[in-house]
Amino acid sequence: MTLELKNVVKRVGAETHIHETSLRLAETGFNVLLGATGAGKTTLIKLMAGLEQPTSGQILFNGEDVTGMSPQRRNVSLVHQFFINYPNMTVFENIASPLRVARVSAAEIRRRVGETADLLKLTPMLGRRPSELSGGQQQRTALARAIVKDSGLVLLDEPLANLDYKLREELRDQLPQLFADRGAVVVYATSEPSEALLLGGHTATMSKGRITQFGETPVAYRQPRNLETAEVFSDPPINAAPVAKRDGRIHLDEGVDWSATGAIAGAPDGDYTVGVRPHFVTPHGGEGAVRLKGRVLVTELSGSESVAHFDMGGRTWVAQSHGVHPYQVGAGHDFFIDTSGCLYFGADGALVAA
């Protein structure tokens, strides 16, 4: 199955929500829409679902033009960020609801609901109502409804955003398996780069109503076509700073330079923007690492990683390292760039060397 957007544009009044977009999605793996809030992910999902109509352009499903067709007739499932279930129905009835609409026989409904509930570990809760469930169980019920329907197109709009992060970890782990071999095109919108990476498949990075890149997830991450894509696909934010290439060396700042090796070696001398993901900037330097003398501004600790925002020469840098590293805010601290992870962009923002 395929879903194809052809020159789709969405304008509301004078504002353009989606600039001309063409995209072809297949059923192999997840198709992740990655972008910050307001990048246009939800609008694109609504266009795919038929909840909104494009101002111009076409939407094709399996080659058939479905532009203007109502969502009811499109064989599509949508799971929303908020846990949307019928509050007055039991979990069983909730999961069965799309089958009842499709007039499936009672025995068949029992079989399919049972199967899906097993898959999502909802079997013990089938007799309960949504209000008696935890957030994770409510969202699993919503997912079960999408799965049981056997639609050709499954749209997941930040389905894990409102869950505790441990639950999020667990469900994210299961999601790709749940939808594997179902023969459906699965679209998953998220604002978290790590989620895109862990789900695998293909990723379309979005920014300001445009798709900046679409391709296999690791490729989009490691070979971003331009700085904009790299910015969308980095959390904490990617460090970007102007550099100059001269005499086979890259000059970042007074006394901070390194030898241009790898792909950048072949590029002509001149001005570039270097993009360094935060995990290539660490408090411990290895062999050949470039030293940055910074002053720590802000620190953040996740359970197993430490992030420091530091100032160097009036520019804020972000460093990310493994383990819990208690920095002294306001104090000077040395950080090191692993230059093997540097991306170089030209004046127009396009990738020159990775």
Partner 1 sequence: MKTENQKAWFLVLPVIALVAFNALVPLMTVVNYSVQETFGNNIFLWSGVRWFEEILASERFHAALTRQLIFTATILAIEIPLGVAIALAMPRKGPWVPVCLVLMALPLLIPWNVVGSMWNIFALPDIGLLGKGINALGIDYNYTQQPVAAWFTVILMDVWHWTSLVVLLAYAGLISIPDAYYQAARIDGARPWAVFRHIQLPKMKKVLTIAVLLRFMDSFMIYTEPSVLTGGGPGNSTTFLSIDLVKIALGQFDLGPAAAMSLIYFLITLLVSWVFYTLMTKDEAE
Partner 2 sequence: MAEIGLKALRHSYLPDPSAEEDWALRRIDLDWSDGGAYALLGPSGCGKTTLLNIISGLVTPTEGQVLFDGRDVTALAPDQRNIAQVFQFPVIYDTMTVYNNLAFPLRNRGVDEGRVDARVREIAEMLELSDMLDQRAANLSADGKQKISMGRGLVREDVNVIMFDEPLTVIDPHLKWKLRSKLKELHQRVKVTMIYVTHDQTEALTFADQVVVMQEGDVVQIGTPVDLFERPAHTFVGHFIGSPGMNVLPCEVRDGGAFVNGIHVPVAEGIGQTADAKTLEVGVRPEFVRFAESGIPARVVKVADTGRHRIVEAEAGGARVHLLAPVDAAIPEGEAHLAFDPERTRVYADGWLAEASGR
CA dist 317 to 80, 163, 223, 257, 301, Å?
35, 30, 21, 16, 16
- C-alpha of 213 from chain center: 12
Where in 163-229 does DSSP place strands (E)? 185-190, 202-207, 210-216
Establish if 286 lies at the interface with partner 2 (CB under 8 A): no
Among 24, 121, 295, 322, binds partner 2 (CB under 8 A): 322
Residue number, 285 or 346, with CB nearest to partner 2: 285
Residue number, 17 or 172, with CB nearest to partner 2: 172
Establish if 68 lies at the interface with partner 2 (CB under 8 A): no
Please say whether the beta carbons of 83 and 163 come within 8 A.
Answer: no
Residue 108 binds which of partner 1, partner 2, none (CB < 5-8 A, kind-dependent):
none
Residues 352 and 354: their CA atoms lie apart, in Å, by 7
Among 60, 198, 256, 267, binds partner 2 (CB under 8 A): 198
- Identify the DSSP state of 165: H
Residue 265 binds which of partner 1, partner 2, none (CB < 5-8 A, kind-dependent):
none
DSSP 264-294: GGGSPSEEEEEEE-GGGEESS--TTPEEEEE
Among 35, 54, 136, 159, binds partner 1 (CB under 8 A): 54
Dihedral of CA 322/191/62/119: which sign?
Answer: positive
- C-alpha of 30 from chain center: 11
Among 14, 37, 63, 268, binds partner 2 (CB under 8 A): 37
Residue 300 binds which of partner 2, partner 1, none (CB < 5-8 A, kind-dependent):
partner 2
Binding site for partner 1 (CB under 8 A): 53-58, 67-68
Residues lying near partner 2 in the complex (CB under 8 A): 36-37, 134-135, 164-166, 169, 191-194, 197-198, 200, 218, 221, 236, 277, 279, 297-304, 309, 320, 322-324, 326, 329
